[in-house]
Amino acid sequence: MKLFTEIFVVLIITFVTVGSAFAKEVNLYTSRHYDSDDALYQKFTDKTGIKVNVISGKGKALMERLASEGTSSPADVFITVDAGNLWKVQKDGMFQSINSSMVDNIVPANLRGPNNEWVGIAKRSRVMYYNPVTVSSDEMEGLSYEDLSDPKWKGRVAIRSSGNMYNQSLVSSLIANHGVDATEAWAKDFVGNLARKPEGNDRAQIMAVANGEADIAVANSYYIGLMLSGKKGEEQQSAATKVELHFPGQNGRGAHINVSGAGLLKNAPNKGNAVKFIEFLLTDEAQSHIVNNTYEFPMREGVAPSDLIAQFGSGFKEDQTAVASYGEFNPEAVKLMDRAGWQ
Amino acid sequence: MNFSLWQITPVTLFLIFIAPVAIVLFSLTGDYSENWSHLYNYVLIGYIKNSFYLILGVSLTVLILGVGTAWIITNYDFSFKNFFEWALILPLAVPPYILAYTFTGLFDTFGTANNLIREIFDLSRDFTFFPKVRNVPGAIIVFSFTLYPYVYLVSRMAFINQSRSIIEAGRTLGLNKLEVFYKLAVPMIRPAIIGGLMLVVMETISDFGAVDHFAISTFTTGIFRTWYGMYDIETAMQLASLLLLFAITLIIIERYSRRNASYSNAMSLYKPLSHEKLRGFKNFLAFSACFIPIFIGFILPVVELTYWALNYKLDFFNEKFISTAWNTFYLAIIAAFFCSVLAVLINFSIRYKSNNYLKFMSSFLTVGYAVPGLILAIGVMQMLTFIDKSFVSNIPNIVFTGSIFGLVLAYIIKSYALSNSTIDAGYQRINERIDDVARTLKTSGWSLLSQVHLPLLKTSFLTSMLLVVSEVIKELPATLILRPFNFDTLAVYTYVYAAEERMYDAAAPSIAIVMVGLIPIIILTRMIRRSRPASRY
């Protein structure tokens, strides 16, 4: 029984010490997992003396934890990479207004919550990648997401599965602009044009274009920066040089935009620190740290995107659809894709 | 009725342990949203079909791999047999989703293996040698080769304890070697095999990572699609409840199938094992039969991961790695210890009081293993926040939620099935007459457990610890949602990268999971080997 007692004592000690609190801190639940984010939080601590405590996990799981903890939740800030998730937390009444003129000045209205409960901290666009050998620039001129249902793209398009939230947001934005019926008709034709059964992540779609398995792929903008940087190995680096990036819908609504965003939780025990933290994320220093590590687009004007992304042109036309609508239409988008046979 | 400690303890534990599963099941009493008609009309049949083929394929394959290798190891002497005996457990250290990533890295159209073949034979880029793996057959291979050790372990233990005399009697009565195997040896250890198989089936249906990576729509991916995509956790919980009911049905069938059978060993007839020495082609066959599962389930992923880790991300092995590895290790040991103790207490109570109602409870505890980890973790979390809010509301912050204690509790609830199956099998092998003898010697209650049963259960106890340790090291969903601030385990690191299919980055932590998992596997298999009776002959 001695071993039993010893283990029990260790357990109790660990359990008590973990619970102890620091005075100057901010508690963060995040579904972003970049090594570079840890470095960013450290910069904040160095600057302000406020310690950043982090729990990272899947967005929806963290949201469930927030809901379950309710008013006694220790969380101050929730960060996620999909506006739909932010909208859902906002709708469930778990956020409060951030009340910061700095935030109001920097973030455009379509990229934050209706009462400033959450704000975008970096932008990403869902763009197209094509093989310049098999696709002419004439074909690409002004090409929009809607155009990809055209029969001339039959067997030429690569995209990942409909379980992915980036695709769900894209389809939600189409619903927001065209309604369910028109979007469903589009989706059916679009699925018929796929070069292969959806598989792999966004980078796998770009690789498919580079390898000649498809002529055109839909994937997020920052992946090309990641591949070109060489951080993913030589194979991906050389593949990335074989494809061209196209910003869709430049003659129409513009390219689909989504955000990494941060929201202020209703019961934030360290509200003051939390607002400081969110403001910090929008400073020049933090913004350029983010864009140079994750290859996202900056939220703040005057901060240049990474060169690896800027080379494809940074003055592209952005779709102004409110990102909050993605959340609203997300459940409908998923069902629509099921009906269209989008795996 | 006079309640003793041996009845009250399991009842109390039962209530705590059953709550998370009950919370999931309770969703069935709620409203059914309109999403049900969508699921029914468009996707549910597809989910069920894929899950069914998966279960069927995996079951057949692990039976062949697990029982087959256990029989060969127990009965024959061949090259490297002593090595294979414990090495066959190694794939336990490899989570199915990691093998799935390895498979796509190797066998995708432009994967390492296909590229290599093209290079060697100087073939064009259009030529693809290996078939596609992102499909149901591919998933069957992935699950079978990572999960067969469950069946191997229980079959091996059962074969060892099987009386030689019966096998010899079979031979004398004219059965050939093959007939002895499938007419006598296998039917005799059927309960053990089915116990192991149930673990495999439950783990297969609850898996999300591997099937999601292969883009196969199963019942479990459907649960998460409903939750994540349709924002409908109620319907997701209801779907998960159906998985639970399926597991409960399996357990009832299993109990029913062995209701009249008594598989206790006739100890007096026990004879030591004799190994037939194999030579030539037969030696090679036996060697291959044991080598192939280890090659696919362990060597292949380890080599591929090492290659990736060396090429892309070695800086992972720093001070932070040490603290993360330590977190993983001690959590696993603590959870394994308590989980095994719990299984012994409950199974002892069942035997000591021979109470049907306890038996039922114990079975019910095991169904947690069939629930997707994250759904069970939600149940655990809701229970913990409920306790926090009801009993410790005067403390400003949450106490149990996000504590190490809550985490260990979640691991125990998830892994109880592993401990129960080994401890239960261990008790099956202790002749009931031993208890009667002990009683006549005035040994009962605590002393019966500690002085008579525990020494006899040592092998089972260690096996139980081994299974739970390797499970907890790989465990992810509960860790992600229940952990304290700034607390990482190795699996969290793997997830962080693998979630975005950054497999090169995920390679180093994956290797670390395998390596940390190896330590207890090696230590415990050595202890198991020393503790079992056959080694004394």
Q: What is the pLDDT of residues A4-28, one digit of tens each?
A: 555 555 555 554 444 444 469 999 9
From chain A, pick out residues whose CB is under 8 angstroms from the CB of B500.
33, 201
Q: What is the mean pLDDT of chain A?
A: 91
CB contact under 8 A, B381 and A68: yes
At the topology level of CATH, where does A2-123+258-308 sit? Answer: D-Maltodextrin-Binding Protein; domain 2 (3.40.190)
List all residues of chain A from 196 to 235 with a beta carbon under 8 Å from chain B.
Answer: 197-201, 203-204, 207, 211-213, 232-233
Q: What is the pLDDT of residue B38?
A: 95
Going by C-alpha positions, the residue among A51, A121, A159, A61 that lies closest to residue A282 is A121
Where does residue A46 rank: exposed (0-12), middle (13-18), buried (19+ CB within 10 A)?
A: exposed
The answer, yes or no, to whether residue A64 has pLDDT greater than 70, is yes
Q: How far apart are alpha carbons B491 and B479 in whole angstroms?
A: 9
- Best mutation target among B223, B333, B397 (most A Cβ atoms within 10 Å) is B397
Contact A299, A123 (CB under 8 A): yes
Task: For residue range B241-284, list pLDDT tens digits in order.
Answer: 999 899 888 888 877 777 655 555 544 455 556 678 898 899 99
Q: Indicate the CATH number for domain A124-256+318-339.
A: 3.40.190.10
Asked if the C-beta of B320 comes within 8 angstroms of chain A's C-beta atoms, the answer is: no
Taken as a whole, chain A contains a residue count of 343
Are B498 and A40 spatial neighbours (Cβ–Cβ below 8 Å)? no
User: Do the chains contact at A201 and B501, CB–CB below 8 Å?
Assistant: yes
Q: Is the pLDDT of residue A75 over 60?
A: yes
The nearest CA of chain A is from the CA of B404 a distance in Å of: 6
Residue of B nearest to A57 (CA): B480
- DSSP assignment of B143-172: HHHHHHHHHHHHHHHHHHHS-HHHHHHHHH
Report the distance separating Cα A204 and Cα B288, nearest Å: 35
Q: Please tell me the distance in Å from B496's CA to the nearest CA on chain A.
A: 6
Nearest CA in chain A to B112: A235
Whether A166 and A220 have beta carbons less than 8 Å apart is answered as yes
Residue contact B408–A64, C-beta within 8 A: no
pLDDT over 90 (residue A285): yes
Pairwise CA distance, residues B361 & B359, whole Å:
5
Rounded distance between C-alpha atoms, residue B224 and residue B228, angstroms? 6
Asked if the Cβ–Cβ distance from B230 to A330 is below 8 Å, we say: yes
Average pLDDT over residues A47-65: 92
pLDDT of residue A10: 54
The domains located in chain B, with CATH, are 5-536 (1.10.3720.10)
How far is it, in rounded angstroms, from Cα A61 to Cα B452? Answer: 46
A12: its two tokens = 């109790």
Q: What is the mean pLDDT of residues A317-334?
A: 94
What are the structure tokens assigned to B300, written together? 């292949």
For residues B8 and B25, give the distance between their C-alpha atoms in angstroms, rounded to a whole number: 24
Closest CA to B168 of B274, B20, B325: B274
Between residues B529 and A39, the one the model is more confident about:
A39
Domain positions in chain A:
2-123+258-308, 124-256+318-339
Q: Is A70 on the interface with B (CB under 8 A)?
A: yes
Interface size A-B, in CB pairs within 8 Å, comes to: 150
CA-to-CA distance for B466 and B458, rounded, in angstroms?
Answer: 12
Do residue B341 and residue A197 have CB atoms under 8 angstroms apart? Answer: no
Q: Closest CB to A72: pick one of B35, B389, B485.
A: B389
pLDDT of residue B536: 38
In chain A, DSSP finds a helix count (H) and a strand count (E) of 15, 9
* Residues in A touching B399 (Cβ below 8 Å): 19
Closest chain A C-alpha to B188 CA, distance in angstroms: 36
Q: How high is the pLDDT of residue B394?
A: 52
Q: CA-CA distances (angstroms) from residue B266 to A134, A335, B188, B526?
A: 75, 60, 12, 27
Yes or no, beta carbons of B403 and A204 under 8 Å apart: no
A165 in contact with B at a CB cutoff of 8 Å? yes
A237 and chain B in contact, CB less than 8 A = no
Judged by a CB distance cut-off of 8 A, whether residue B270 touches chain A is: no
User: Taking CB atoms and an 8 Å limit, are A65 and B405 in contact across chains?
Assistant: no
Name which of B232, B378, B403 is nearest A64 (Cβ-Cβ).
B378
d(CA A84, CA A167): 12
Residues of chain B with pLDDT under 50: 1, 266-268, 534-537
- Per CATH, A2-123+258-308 and A124-256+318-339 having the same topology is answered yes
What chain A residue is nearest to B483 in terms of C-alpha separation? Answer: A55
